[in-house]
Amino acid sequence: MTVRAARAVPAGAVLLGVLLAGCTAAPAPPPPPVPPPPPAPPAACLLDVDALRTATGPAWVADETAATDTRCVYDPEGATAGEFVVVEVGPAVVLDDVAAVCADGTRTPTGTGFTCRLPGGGVFAATLHDGDLVTVAAVEVPASTTPDRLATALGAQLPG
């Protein structure tokens, strides 16, 4: 019996040591830091592509690899080489001066700016916003939409 008691005490002590060690282990490491939010898109990439798709038909994608705070190009799905929309932000000028690019009789007021047709059939929009001139142009309108739909969609998204 003494042999059994001698064996039972060390086994119990080991079990008690394991239990106590489990309770006194080092605290869990803190969770990893939250990563910073992704950077904001360039300032010129101001069009809402979902709203543009709803209004025009094709899906649009901003080419963020070439985008800057002063220029952003949007490509419609299935586009040919000349079918794209360019947004440019630059120094403010008189809107009447900018409207010189419009085909005669096509200028339509939109918010604080205007939309118009270009002489070759494209669409143009401009407004003044926060001391800058914001222009949006599509020299060629994608075959999957119409100039009127595109002009309306761009006019609706002019800041201001």
Name the pTM for this structure.
0.74
Assess if residue 72 is contained within a domain. Answer: yes
Q: What is the CA radius of gyration of the chain?
A: 32
Cβ within 8 Å of residue 154, ≥6 positions away: 47, 85, 115, 123, 125, 136, 138
What residue type is 9 in one-letter code? Answer: V
Asked, for residue 14, whether it belongs to a domain, the answer is: no
Query: Tokens 């939109």 identify what position?
Result: 110
- Structural domain includes residue 42: no
What is the domain range of residue 134? 49-157
- Torsion sign, CA atoms 17, 20, 26, 29: positive
Residue at 65 is within a domain:
yes
Residue 122 lies in a domain: yes
Longest dimension (CA), the chain: 114
- Residue 154 phi/psi, 5-degree rounding, is -70, -40
Closest CA to 92 of 113, 74, 118, 72: 113
Q: What is the pLDDT of residue 133?
A: 97
Domain count for the chain, please give it.
1
For residue 107, being part of any structural domain is answered with yes
Q: Is the pLDDT of residue 11 over 60?
A: no
Q: What pLDDT was estimated at residue 52? A: 96
| CB proximity list for 153: less than 8 A, separation 6 or greater | 51, 52, 55, 56
Q: Return the SS3 of 133.
A: strand
Whether 88 is in a domain gets the answer yes
Looking at per-residue confidence, does 34 or 150 come out higher? 150
Domain contains 18: no
Distance of alpha carbon 38 from the chain centroid: 11
Band of residue 1 on the pLDDT scale cut at 50, 70, 90? very low
